Structures are given as structure tokens and as C-alpha cells.
Chain A
Amino acid sequence: MIPEPAIDRLAAMFRTPDLTGTRYEIISTLGRGGMGIVYLARDTALDREVALKIFDRPPGDSNEARIIARLEHPGIVPVHDFGELPDGRLFYAMKRVRGDRLDRWMAAGPSTGLRAGRDLTDRLAVFLRVCETVAFAHAHGVVHRDLKPENVMVGEFGEVLVLDWGVAAADIADCGLGNADSNSQTIVGTPQYMAPEQERGDAAIDQRADVFALGAMLAGIARGVAPVAAIARKAQSADAGQRYQSVPALAADVNRYLAGRAVEAHREPLFARVARVARRNRLAILLVLTYLIVRVVLIFLFRV
């Protein structure tokens, strides 16, 4: 019979990874991501803290490190190292990012390089940075498939990082992207942010699944602002053909809103359009009005 202390020891063996033969020591658990647990660890060779992601499954079941390694972008945490633990699980070490998850950052959170207060402009600025990163990944043939505020980190110095590429799929152009995990055939993603075609387990999905998830994130950011809410709705169209066809197209509409121009997704009432144009051209309108007033005054004076 396996004695009591051994059961606890063996169960702990599953919980605490054996890092024998690696240069890392576990400090604490940072959280669970897609496919594995992320630990705060010390890199004993370089005496620095790193985030160490250890996969639940034996080798062969994850391509996350390889996907991230091919994506060199300021919005994606760089991978430092990749290897196999004595128990056969794969791990990779990445830069430790200090900051807040986007959902917490939006709720409150400490001040960051971006102005605290989380007004709509700040939120949209972060959202656009997420869009830039995701568009970059798409351009390199990678669909994230699990975008949500919990997978975005706003760093101490205002950096915006997209995390958890554990369920990402590569090679948009090369092959049909099954949104089912290639080994287990389970549906991956998070329901609230999952495009209908992804939820159905369609054999082929593309970057428009990420457009849907970004739309769901934007809906949480919009806070009843009609044009932004309309952009979010369009991005979340059930029919992928009705969505923005790419992330840059989505970002362009958000930028149009920020610049005070009409957005594609929203047909505004006449009064709102006049008010927006007036806001956008406030200075010019003021100058014209001032000129007209001065002219009227001068005409009046010369008549007298």
C-alpha cells in the first residue's frame, strides 16, 4: 500500500515541478494559463527573475514557445529559454512582466506609465496597442484564439503585452486552422470571447476569430459610447463575413473615432454629426465666428 505521506509527496510532485538539471528555482505561482501553470522563478545563472511556464502535458502537445519565438514584437513577451523538465514536461522561460492584467487595470489598479483614471481615451489607446500586436501576429501567420482582458498585461511603464499564446494556431495561409486542439480535439478559447465558428469547432477559422474576440473586449471598453459600441458590434457579427475582415480595419475605425471622424460601423443622427463636426473643427469655427463678429462690429461702427 502507498503510505499516507507518500500520497501527499507524489501529489506534490505533480503540483511542484522538479527543476533538477535546469537553472531555475521556483519562487511562487503567478497563475494558470492555457495548457499550463506560470511560475515566478529565479534564473540562477543570470540571477534574475523570470516567468516560467510549465505545460501540463508531456512533450509534443504544445507549440507555444515556438510560436512566440517567431514573433518578435514589443507587445509579445520574449522567450529566453525552452527545455524539458526531468518529469518530461516542457517549459519555457520568458521575461517577467510587472503590471496589471487589463481587466484589473480597467477596474482600478495602480498608476502606470499611461495616465491613471482609465478614461475612454486611455482604454482605447491600450486597445489599439493590443490590435497592433495581434495584427503583427496575423501578418506572421498566427491566430491567438484566446484573446480576452485577462490575457493582456499593462506594464509598469505603460507597455502593453498580449500573453498566453498557449492555444494559438500558426500558419493562417498554409492550412485550415482547426480551432480544436490538434491533439485532444477539444474546443479551445473562452466562451464570452469566442467567435461562433470557433465555438462550433469549424474545421477552418482565420484571423476574423481574433477580430470577434477584440470586438468583445471593445464592448467592455465602450461604456455606452454609441460609435465605439457600434464598432464592437460589427466586430462581433455572428457571420464572419460581416465583421471587419482584419484587425487593422477594426483599429482604423477606432482611430477614426478618436480623431473625431465618422466611423464605418455607425450611422449617426444629424444632430450628433453636426456636434461631432463642430467639436472636431472647434478652432476653425471659432476663428470664422470671431471674424464674422468683428466684421459686423466694424460695419456697425462705420455706419455710425
Chain B
Amino acid sequence: MAAFPATRHSIVAAIRSDRAEVRRSAFDALVTAYWKPVFKYVRLKWRASPDDAADLTQGFFLRAFEKDFFASFDPARARFRTYLRTCLDGFVANARQADARLKRGGGVALVPLDFDEAERELAHQAGNAIADFDAYFHREWLRGLFAAAAARLRDDCAARGRRDRYPLFEAYDLAGDDRPRPTYAELARRHGLTTIDVTNELAAARREFRRFVVEALRQQCASDEEFESELRGLTG
């Protein structure tokens, strides 16, 4: 994940900073948060090939950086995510119309983007018909938000010597439907803990996970109102 200063300031607001290094750092954080939903969205909605989608994704972010797309975002009018998707649709439509491959621009380098991994994820999701691309983009953004928070939790647990916490969280809360979810008792046996330990470790992991999600959400929102709205969207 791009190293954006761990402050409560919005990365969307930081993109308008007068200081180039702040602007760049915010932009990298924004790319990290959004590149995967953008890539998948372009692949599926615009039916782009993997290579074209990768080019369009990189081209979109590079153009956004060069042309200051996001500086004109007005939080009073829309959510940032909606604004970004609208810009993306316009960008792809123009690129298609020009029928030209996108130029990698102006010596600007993006943070490394693992398109192969995104493609593997897409293959894993294949077969799910998408009726609403707005909802799809939101869900992919949410997946990214949770993935980033889970990665922070993993790193944090490792740094603080909490050996069992993340593996328990991963096994129980991040479990897929490919196998039955373990019970607390099973997890306790596997890790040589008591069931109460598992309960406590999971409670602590969830607390930390929630904190990381809320922090990431705050960074990605342009205003307090948007943050409150996003948080309410999560908390129902």
C-alpha cells in the first residue's frame, strides 16, 4: 500500500495541496485504493481485454494526475467515488472514440499495479452476471477497503507480536464458502488456545479491523459530510 501519512486528513483534499510531494503521496494512496475497482470495471463494463484494461487504467490515473481531474471535485455535488467513475466513463469513451492506444505520459510513474492478480480475481468472480455496474463498482471498492484494512491488521499484529490474532481473524472472518467455517472450538484446538482466548482475540482483531476501515474511509472522503454518509452506509 502506498505510504500515505497516517493522519486523519482526506487524501482527496490533499490532492489539491500546493506542495508537490503531498499531492504525489495523496495521489499514490488514491491509486492504491481505486485501481483495482477501476481495472475490473473497465474490463467488465467496457468489455476491454486484459491488456487494454490495464492500459486504460494506467492511462486514466496518469491523465488524472497530469490534468488535475480530481482537483475540480466538489464534495457538495457527489461522492468522490461517483465522481471518479463518471470521469472514468468519460475517459474510456474518449479513448475508444480516438481509437488509439494510450500514451504513457510525461515521465510520471504510477505505484506498481499487479494487473495479473486483478485478472485472477476476475476469473474467480466469473459467472456472476452484473446487472448494476454502479453497485459492482461500489462492491469492488468495498472489497479493496476491507482488503487494505485486513493487510494493515496483519502487519500490525506481526509488529506487535500478536501471533494468533490475524490467523484467527483470517480463518473465521475472512473465510470464503469453499469450505465450512470453523467453530471457535476448532480454532482453539488448532492454535492451542482456549475458546475464551479465541473469543478475545477475535474481538480484539475486529476492533482493530474496524478502526483501520474507519481511518481508510476518512482518508478517502473529501469532506466530513461524505465521511459520515459513507460510515452510515457501512453501519446501516
Selected contact of A87 from candidates B125, B146, B206, CB within 8 Å: B206
Give the shortest distance, in Å, between A87 (CB) and chain B (any CB).
Answer: 5
For A2, the chain B residues whose CB sits under 8 A away are 143, 146-147, 150, 174
A192 contacts the other chain (CB 8 A): no
Q: Are B236 and A15 in contact (CB under 8 A)?
A: yes
Contacts of B224 in A (CB 8 A): 184-186
Residues on A with beta carbons closer than 8 Å to the beta carbon of B66: none
Which residues of A lie under 8 Å from residue B125 when comparing CB positions?
A: 4
The listed residue (B150, B175, B234) touching A14 by CB distance below 8 A is B234
Which B residues touch A37, using CB under 8 A? 235-236
* B124 near A1: Cβ-Cβ < 8 Å: yes
Given contacts A58-B214, A87-B210, contact A6 B175 (CB under 8 A): yes
- A20 in contact with B199 (CB, 8 Å): yes
Q: Which residues of B contact A86 (CB under 8 A)?
A: 203-204, 206-207
Which of chain A's residues has its CB closest to B140's CB?
A: A7
Q: Determine the distance from Cα of A11 to Cα of B207 in the docked complex, in whole angstroms.
A: 14
Chain B positions within 8 Å of A, measured between CB atoms, are 120-121, 124-125, 139, 142-143, 146-147, 150, 173-178, 199, 203-204, 206-207, 209-211, 213-214, 224-225, 227-228, 231-232, 234-236
A10 to B174 Cα, complex, angstroms: 8
Cβ contact within 8 Å between A88 and B210 = yes
Interface residues of A (CB under 8 A from B): 1-7, 9-11, 13-15, 18, 20-21, 32, 37, 56-58, 86-89, 184-186
B6 to chain A, nearest CB (A): 15
Main secondary structure of the interface of B (DSSP, over half): helix
Is there contact, CB below 8 Å, between A3 and B210?
A: no
Query: Closest CB-CB distance, B29 to chain A, in whole Å?
Result: 19
Task: Using known A-B contacts A1-B121, A14-B234, A186-B225, determine if residue A7 contacts B146 with beta carbons closer than 8 Å.
Answer: yes
Chain B residues positioned under 8 Å from A9 (CB to CB): 173
Does B235 lie within 8 Å of A15, measured CB to CB?
yes
- Interfacial chain A residues near B211, Cβ < 8 Å: 58, 88
- Report yes or no: B210 in contact with A14, Cβ–Cβ below 8 A: yes
Q: How far is the CB of A170 from chain B (nearest CB, A)?
A: 22
* A56 engages B232 (CB within 8 Å): yes
Q: Which residue of B lies closest to A5 (CB)?
A: B177
30 contacting pairs across A/B (C-beta < 8 A): A1-B147, A2-B146, A2-B147, A2-B150, A2-B174, A3-B177, A3-B178, A6-B173, A6-B176, A7-B139, A7-B142, A10-B173, A11-B234, A13-B209, A14-B210, A14-B213, A15-B235, A20-B203, A37-B235, A37-B236, A56-B228, A56-B232, A56-B235, A57-B231, A58-B214, A86-B203, A86-B204, A86-B207, A88-B211, A186-B225
